[in-house]
Structure 1
Amino acid sequence: MTETRFAPSAPCELAVVGAGPVGTSLAILAAQAGFAVTLIDGRPATGANTTDTRTFAVVRGSWRLLRATGIGPELADQTTPLNGLDAEDGGTHWFGAPHAAFSTEDLDPDASGEPLGQMVPAGALQAALDRRTAEIPGLTWLRGARFSGMTTGPGGAEISLEDGRVIRAGLVAACDGIHSAVRQSLGIPTEGRAYGKSVFAADVTLSRPHHGIARQLFTPEGPFATLPLPGNRANLAWYMKTGAAETLAKLPKDAIEAELNARFADFAGEMQLDGPPLSYPLVMQIAGKMAGPRTALLGDAAHRINPLAGQGLNLGFKDVGALIDVMTEARETGLDPGSDTVLARYQEWRRFDSAATAMAMDLIDRAFSNDNAFLKPLRGLALTAANRIAPLRRALARQASADQAHLPSLMR
């Protein structure tokens, strides 16, 4: 059999490896900014996407970035405004369970009418980004293309694909997930831990209205959250010991509903399943660097964090906005967007925020996932302070909704 060999492609300015929400949004926004972009998508070139029943809490700043891709109108009928966040400490308390609540009123009044964020079905988001990708001039979309290796040098990078093609690029964006082949090819180490927990997730119909409020109950074994969906529906996430979540997801519908309502009907109201449940393990993994030679790491390739408060994907969108800004600034000043100097600017901007958020989510999980008699009054005091001290409440709301002046321009 004769082996087919490909000549290297014409060089592009940015090659994006990985075509999830982070990779596709980056490719679209970079092409809209005038960069020549190649999107390397490992999904099959034909056939429908794998069904994804998750729902993402896309906070205000991230939703602004997504609207800049042009997909907002397509998703208008499939999203639910996130009007507030309510956290309650479960377990046993002498004087009632402390809680903290944030709403749109805690944010900048200049953004009147703009909610804290949007609840967006994962499948609908990916489908909208895919359709937009196919429309953008200057964006080459390679479906069914799998990364196999990369070499870098002063003039750029050469990416080898499994089918023998070679892609030349000035800058490579690694958006290929927690097991990033690009990160591994650069020898960038990771640190983290497995939580010994998994998340049981499902869409449910509620017996009482949610009013667009995301609610979270901290129990000794882990959080239980309901996230608002269109109609009187919600996406729930229940943190359980590894094995328990997987077992629950395989039970018959009536058995799952009985377990949910026995545990959480007082908190969320009666629940009925509205679609197939799923489960996934909890891990934290942080890359030792967010940049390497001619390469920037984004999303789960750079940081997989505890999904508490829904910050994981939103960190990835912050990475996207930051990389667009540093690439644009480099072009305006005559610098090479893939140079060490420019990538150092990207890493400096994003490294601390991603690591600090990962540590904060880890600390909250450790502090609240127990019934420790010493910790309970301390975390009760923290929740009460967050709820009653207006400046603190507003600061936390701005942080949670990515609505701050230092964020990338597309998020402001």
Structure 2
Amino acid sequence: MLDMLVVGGGYVGLSAAIAVKQAAPHLNVAVVEAAPEHVWKNDTRASAIIAAAAKMLEVFGIWNEIEPEAQPITKMIVTDSKTSDPVRPVFLTFDGEVADGRPFAHMIPNVVMVAALRGACDRLGIDIRHGLGATELKTHDTHVTVTLSDGSALETRLLVACDGVRSKLRDLAGIRTVTWDYGQSGIVATVEHERPHDGCAEEHFLPAGPFAILPLKNNRSSLVWTERTQDANRLVAADDLIFEEELERRFGHKLGSLKVIGDKRAFPLGLTLARSFVAPRFALAGDAAHGIHPISGQGLNLGFKDVAALAETVVEADRLGLDIGSINILERYQTWRRFDTFRMGVTTDVLNRLFSNDATPIRIARDVGLGIVDRLPRLKSFFIGQAAGTTAKDNPRLLAGQTI
């Protein structure tokens, strides 16, 4: 019998397995992943990793593998305009360092991060089974039985679902969600440009939604481009010439000519919050627990916070000789994470509604607000600390760079 089974082999699932196994090597931990074994090597996307999450990756012993390919975000610029505006005034700027001199975030290619996490799993002896999804779930007094898509079954004292915003396991566990659709999709693509970005990230608030430009190594940038779903699907289906022409209208010409590298994809955007993060011998983490708008760039980092809190809860319970799958233990994890998740979900929802709006009075009010924040250094420092995840008083030890 397994001590902990993680379903979902993405960043959050792999990190959850590593965090527990590293701190409690005697526990038998395994991962089941629905995707084929090598499909992650074709991922051309990148992710924003905040300073607190980078500290956790240091504790895992893999940051030294990741850092050479990680692009520090040294500055953040926020503008508010229409696509047709000839000039886009800068309303808010942030320096990219937090108190200890670290960049508040890095952009990391997904293939680099997954390779490092999988390497850590190999070194710790964590078994990863590929091409298998969960089809049935039965909870017993002492364990959970998970039936997989090949007909085999696994028994585990604790089941952790990291299988995404449309979590099959969440449904099997009978956990309901609060969900609504924004009518928007996020276009994700990587572009190459002539001039260096100097580590500067930009977020343009346009009428259809935020348009984020996030720096990568080698004169490249990652885009998270929000459009109405119908327009997003049309743009992604268009040939590169039309796509790049529309892109230039939003991106501008300050970095020279643009060229799309690799695939461009569109993902529907909405808000999904699980009504409960736990059930007997069962816990949700990452997008399975919460799917939020990408306007703040915090979605993946919320998942890393889940990992750090869950691992600390489980490992401390194990050291006390307690049952790691007990609902009393798991409710400590839920209490730790639920309010922060709800707060971030509401914040991103309000920001999206506020900034995906072209009504003149609202534009004036939000631009005045951005201007006021830009002139208050202490308030800016507070916001950057919050974004970096370094100032929260209830941070788990892993996010402070400490072992469990």
Of 47, 52, 68 in structure 1, the residue corresponding to residue 59 of structure 2 is: 68
Distance 2:54 2:127 in 1: 25
3-state secondary structure, aligned to 2:263? coil
CA contact (8 A) 1:98 1:383 kept: no
CA positional deviation for 1:399 = 1.0
What residue is the counterpart of 2:295 in the other structure?
308
Bigger shift: 22-31 or 243-252?
243-252
Change over 3 Å in CA distance of 1:17–1:263 after alignment to 2: closer
- TM score, norm. by length of structure 1: 0.90
Distance 1:20 1:208 in 2: 33
Q: Which amino acid aligns with 2:47?
A: F
CA contact (8 A) 2:188 2:225 kept: yes
CA positional deviation for 1:252 = 2.2
CA contact (8 A) 1:226 1:268 kept: no
What residue is the counterpart of 2:117 in the other structure?
129
CA positional deviation for 1:74 = 2.4
3-state secondary structure, aligned to 2:305? helix
Task: Summarize deviations over 1:64-89 as a string: whole Å, max 9, x none.
Answer: 11232232232233211122222111
Task: Summarize deviations over 1:185-230 as a string: whole Å, max 9, x none.
Answer: 1111111211111122221123432111210010111111110000
What residue is the counterpart of 1:354 in the other structure?
341
Distance 1:162 1:273 in 2: 37
What residue is the counterpart of 1:22 in the other structure?
12
Q: Does 1:12 align with 2:34?
A: no
Q: Does 1:287 align with 2:277?
A: no
CA positional deviation for 1:367 = 0.4
What residue is the counterpart of 1:406 in the other structure?
394
Matched pairs, number: 395
- TM score, norm. by length of structure 2: 0.92
Q: Does 1:275 align with 2:266?
A: no
List structure 1 runs of 4+ shifted beyond 6 angstroms. Answer: none
Of 64, 70, 80 in structure 1, the residue corresponding to residue 71 of structure 2 is: 80
Distance 2:90 2:75 in 1: 17
Change over 3 Å in CA distance of 1:132–1:388 after alignment to 2: same
Q: Which amino acid aligns with 1:278?
A: R
Alignment of 1:95-114 (within 5 A): 97=89, 99-105=91-97, 107-108=98-99, 111-112=100-101, 114=102
CA contact (8 A) 2:196 2:255 kept: no
Q: Which amino acid aligns with 2:4?
A: L
3-state secondary structure, aligned to 2:197? coil
CA contact (8 A) 2:33 2:130 kept: yes
Change over 3 Å in CA distance of 1:267–1:376 after alignment to 2: farther
CA positional deviation for 1:96 = 7.6
What residue is the counterpart of 1:40 in the other structure?
32
Structure 2 residue runs without a partner (length 5+): none
Q: Does 1:335 align with 2:335?
A: no
Structure 1 residue runs without a partner (length 5+): 1-10
Bigger shift: 360-369 or 80-89?
80-89
What residue is the counterpart of 1:188 in the other structure?
175
CA positional deviation for 1:50 = 6.1
3-state secondary structure, aligned to 1:226? strand
CA positional deviation for 1:120 = 0.8
CA positional deviation for 1:141 = 2.2
Q: Does 1:118 align with 2:109?
A: no
CA contact (8 A) 1:84 1:116 kept: no
Change over 3 Å in CA distance of 1:96–1:73 after alignment to 2: closer
CA contact (8 A) 1:204 1:272 kept: yes
Distance 2:361 2:246 in 1: 30
CA positional deviation for 1:268 = 5.8
CA contact (8 A) 2:77 2:90 kept: no
Change over 3 Å in CA distance of 1:161–1:99 after alignment to 2: same
Distance 2:53 2:150 in 1: 35
What residue is the counterpart of 2:354 in the other structure?
367
What residue is the counterpart of 1:3 in the other structure?
none
Task: Summarize deviations over 1:47-71 as a string: whole Å, max 9, x none.
Answer: 5436222210111111111232232
CA positional deviation for 1:285 = 0.9
CA contact (8 A) 1:201 1:277 kept: yes
CA contact (8 A) 2:18 2:60 kept: yes
Bigger shift: 320-329 or 28-37?
28-37
Q: Does 1:142 align with 2:134?
A: no
Distance 1:269 1:89 in 2: 21
Q: Which amino acid aligns with 2:23?
A: A
Distance 2:117 2:20 in 1: 14
CA contact (8 A) 1:197 1:282 kept: yes
CA positional deviation for 1:117 = 1.6
Distance 1:389 1:371 in 2: 26
3-state secondary structure, aligned to 2:112? helix
Q: Percent identity of the aligned residues? A: 34
3-state secondary structure, aligned to 1:86? strand
3-state secondary structure, aligned to 1:134? helix
Distance 1:143 1:312 in 2: 25
Computed over aligned residues only, the root mean square deviation of the Cα atoms, in angstroms, reads: 2.0
3-state secondary structure, aligned to 1:276? strand
Distance 1:142 1:205 in 2: 36
Task: Summarize deviations over 1:313-347 as a string: whole Å, max 9, x none.
Answer: 11000000000111122123332221111111100
